[in-house]
Structure 1
Amino acid sequence: MAEPARADEPLLKTPLHGEHVALGARMVPFAGYDMPVQYPTGILTEHNWTREHAGLFDVSHMGQAFLVAEDKSHETVAKAFEALIPADVLNLKPNQQRYSQLLADDGGILDDLMVTRVGAPGHEGWLYLVVNASMKDADYAHIQARLPAGVTLNRKDNLALMALQGPSAAAVMAEKAPEAAELAFMMSADVQIDGIWCHISRSGYTGEDGYEISCHDKDSAALWRSLLAHPEVKPIGLGARDSLRLEAGLCLYGHDIDTTTSPIEAGLIWSIQKRRREEGGFPGAERVQREIKDGAGRVRVGLKPEGRAPAREGSVIVTPDGREVGVVTSGGFGPTVNGPVAMGYVARDVSAIGTDVHLMVRGKPIPAKIAAMPFAPHRYKR
């Protein structure tokens, strides 16, 4: 999970950096930030705690911003953003959230993101965006350069973001803000927790039920401590965040998706609503529509290696007779699965579930099968 920082740039710190250090976290460089990879109990314990109780993650390194239409029209801001992403933004309900991708002109993925139609009174014509930490400056520049007159991008670097994930998350949040328990999956609300303004959404990156919680950075330490005071909640680092999302079959930008992959190759057709599939009108629409109609030449698949040895990113995927057909993009040990799991891209003709392949690990072929994802069942609030 660690990504090397550029030598000429000091590591940034989230507003919760001091909290992690005080809790004994092992800090590593990630996306230009000094981030906790694990706490003293270790990644395995943190992973299992999140699956069984509730884990609290600092994701304040992510980028938060608003798109604002001067005429306060949702239609204006939605159409402006639909020119950049393939999701249906126009038909978002107030407080509804969607997952989508910023696409290049050739249909490659510049980043993936979450977009929410703001429902707070007086904020008609606002969209709330959450983008990846490693890409946020490039994303903001890309969006800004392509906005029409009358629509403005406002980045919010004074906001913190944390995620409370796991089967106990709803009960914990209900004690703090009763309306949280009533939220449906991918819906959001503005609430008060201990007198602190928070924007919460019922979403996350673990496959579990849970919430992402935005607040002002000056309030973040108090909110973090308040949530950790609950006996069901423990802090979770980047290591378990990665193993949880891998078991959930969720993409990590720069690994499982990037400018060389399209949403169709990546198995993200579900994030492109019917109207947009038919009408197009977004970058790379010609490629996306062609791949929907004819199929992509390669596809993202789950992989279950035999034995206990994990296959890491970059491992070449070959057929049993030695034909090279793809590459692993994420891999590791799945604690919930109690074995190694991976995902990667393979040629379409070997992508059927149950197909035998070999993963080349340190020059040795490891037998594996193409497997259905997620590896651990999603438990979102439906």
Structure 2
Amino acid sequence: MTQENEQLLQTPLYSVHVECGAKMVPFAGYEMPVQYPLGVKKEHLHTRDAAGLFDVSHMGQLRLHGEGAAKLLESLVPVDIIDLSEGKQRYAFFTNEQGGILDDLMVANFGDHLFLVVNAACKDQDIAHISKHLPEDVKLEVIEDRALLALQGPKAAEVLSDIQPEVADMLFMDIKKTQLDGIECYVSRSGYTGEDGYEISVPSDQAEALARKLTAYEQVEWIGLGARDSLRLECGLCLYGHDLDTTTTPVEASLLWGISKIRRADGERAGGFPGAEIILEQIATKDVSRKRVGLVGQTKAPVREGVELFDSEGTKIGVVTSGTAGPNAGKPVSMAYIRADLAAVDTEVLAEVRGKMLPMTVAKMPFVPQRYYRG
């Protein structure tokens, strides 16, 4: 065993993955299942057709306690946290002074505290970032004793409501504390596949029992990181460290929908987050040099991360940040940053793959419809 392997962390479900024949790989400091014997493509299709279970326990789970928690968080993200209703969650991102994105995260309001889920690779820096700005009336609690499962797909609600009927009434982005098979869980109706489904925070020592209960349903299969990546990409969802980073602003990233109107209008709560001046100026002038776009391949060859993009004259105009064969899209799909003047839908660009110039077309995202349950 290499020294690197010895230093990798394991989720509470590690032994279950090994038992189920998962191929384990290093990811964000953890040994994680990239695929199971079913294989990435079949796992992907199964999630779209039925239900997939994902171990996402490597993500960071945090609590913010105190009356000033919402105000504190609102000073770090361009999102309306103060008006976030109890029992609801919202997508947000931390920004830096240059307007770049430090991480994206989910924020939920449990009434007596805010519950945050942050990316695994950014967990330590996010904790440090929040801690640096903590006022005296707010306490940050790092949750060390809970695992995180995601049950995703059109059959997810059928399965989970068989265990706990009240989850059937939840809508997209609702969150609640509830008992699943006698285990106290935090259940949100959300996920990272574009499908209907749930994310479930469960005590670490009961995660295996709940996972086995869920995978005992014939509709449910274990799904690895490989299919998680192709599923989120088909639905136009960004992966931090690939499609988003500290040098990319939300405007360049086409994430304007993630900036609450109250934080960009003329009002007392406009701005007030790191990099606000730069971001609000970009919104007002629409003046950015590059934009995140979707690309659809005109050939069958997948166009992966790192592939350079050119115009018809051979001038480099951008780079691919994520790419997949598109099992449900039925054609190769990618995300890329390209020169803003070429970001219009239906613009043709050329991707250089192994010395060949492959034609691709700028397309609207998502590449397959999102199917969140909104009632």
Match of 1:41 in 2: 38
> For residues 221-246 of structure 1, what are the alpha-carbon distances to aligned partners after superposition, in whole Å with 9 as ceiling and x for unaligned?
00000011111111000000000001
Match of 2:272 in 1: 281
TM-score norm. by structure 1 comes to: 0.95
Distance in 1 (alpha carbons) for counterparts of 2:118 and 2:124? 10
Q: CA deviation at 1:9?
A: 6.2
Match of 1:58 in 2: 55
Which of these residues, 137, 144, 159, is aligned with residue 172 of structure 1? 159
Match of 2:14 in 1: 17
- Alignment partner of 2:264: what SS? helix
Distance in 2 (alpha carbons) for counterparts of 1:10 and 1:311? 33
Q: 1:285 to 1:145 in 2, by over 3 A?
A: same
Distance in 1 (alpha carbons) for counterparts of 2:305 and 2:285? 28
- Alignment partner of 1:222: what SS? helix
> For residues 19-52 of structure 1, what are the alpha-carbon distances to aligned partners after superposition, in whole Å with 9 as ceiling and x for unaligned?
1000010111100100000100101110000000
> For residues 268-306 of structure 1, what are the alpha-carbon distances to aligned partners after superposition, in whole Å with 9 as ceiling and x for unaligned?
111111111121110011111011111122110000111
Which of these residues, 343, 350, 354, is aligned with residue 342 of structure 2? 350
> For residues 163-196 of structure 1, what are the alpha-carbon distances to aligned partners after superposition, in whole Å with 9 as ceiling and x for unaligned?
0000000111111111111111101011101100
- Alignment partner of 1:255: what SS? coil
Which deviates more, 240-249 or 357-366?
357-366
Distance in 2 (alpha carbons) for counterparts of 1:162 and 1:37? 15
Which deviates more, 145-154 or 234-243?
145-154
Match of 1:317 in 2: 309
| 1:227 correspondence with 2:230 | no
Which deviates more, 46-55 or 270-279?
270-279
Which of these residues, 114, 119, 128, is aligned with residue 132 of structure 1? 119
Match of 1:32 in 2: 29
> For residues 61-102 of structure 1, what are the alpha-carbon distances to aligned partners after superposition, in whole Å with 9 as ceiling and x for unaligned?
000010111xxx3xx211111111111000000011000101
Q: Which runs of 5+ in 2 are unaligned?
A: none
Cα RMSD for the two superposed structures:
1.2
1:344 counterpart letter in structure 2: A
Match of 1:94 in 2: 86
Aligned residues: 368
Regions of 4+ moved over 2 Å: 5-9
Match of 1:291 in 2: 282
Q: CA deviation at 1:7?
A: 3.5
Correspondence 1:241-320 to 2 at 5 A: 241-278=228-265, 279-295=270-286, 296-320=288-312
1:288 counterpart letter in structure 2: I
Distance in 2 (alpha carbons) for counterparts of 1:8 and 1:311? 30
TM-score norm. by structure 2 comes to: 0.96
1:53 counterpart letter in structure 2: A
Distance in 1 (alpha carbons) for counterparts of 2:164 and 2:5? 43
Match of 2:99 in 1: 107
Q: CA deviation at 1:325?
A: 1.1
